[in-house]
Amino acid sequence: MTNRNAGIGNTGTGNTGNWNTGNWNTGNWNTGNWNSVNSETGYFNTETADTIRAFNKTISRSEWAQAYLPKFLQFNLTEWTRSEDMTDEEKEAYPIHTAMGGCLREYTYKEAFQKSWEDANPEDRERIRDVPGFDPEVFYEISGIDLRANSK
């Protein structure tokens, strides 16, 4: 339930600031509850930690802030698909496509991640290994993309 929120993009209850999840956060980009700083997780924080966790490891916040995050890490779970690009199964499932000119194709999280990976240029794909804390096992568990044999 999302209620009694002020700001933009908040979920939860009683948030101020922007893009908070959880409950009763002030500041921006918080998760957890009762935080009054920016970009914090956990509970009852008034100071932003010097570290974050990435790939199950502790990373300095400054190192993370300076890191290049490959563009393929931003992906959509849906995409508009024109009628002429729909499969026969999709056309049968969404007969309204003739009036709408297509349908919204849905992907699971891992399907969307893998599609974004496949669409990315090779240089951008290789840069995932430079993300602070990169762990090919964790990356595989989350994305379904297997880089374990080629790890540094």
pLDDT at residue 2, as a whole number:
57
Domain spans, the chain: 1-49, 71-150
Token reading at 26: 């002030």
Band (pLDDT 50/70/90 cuts) for residue 60 is very high
Model pTM score:
0.74
Residue of 146, 122, 147, 141 whose CA lies nearest to 55: 141
Band (pLDDT 50/70/90 cuts) for residue 43 is confident
20 CB contacts (<8 Å, ≥6 apart)? 5, 7, 9, 10, 11, 12, 27, 28, 29, 30, 31
pLDDT tens, position by position, 93-146: 999 999 999 999 999 989 999 999 999 999 999 999 999 999 999 999 999 999
Phi, psi of 110 (to 5 degrees): -70, -35
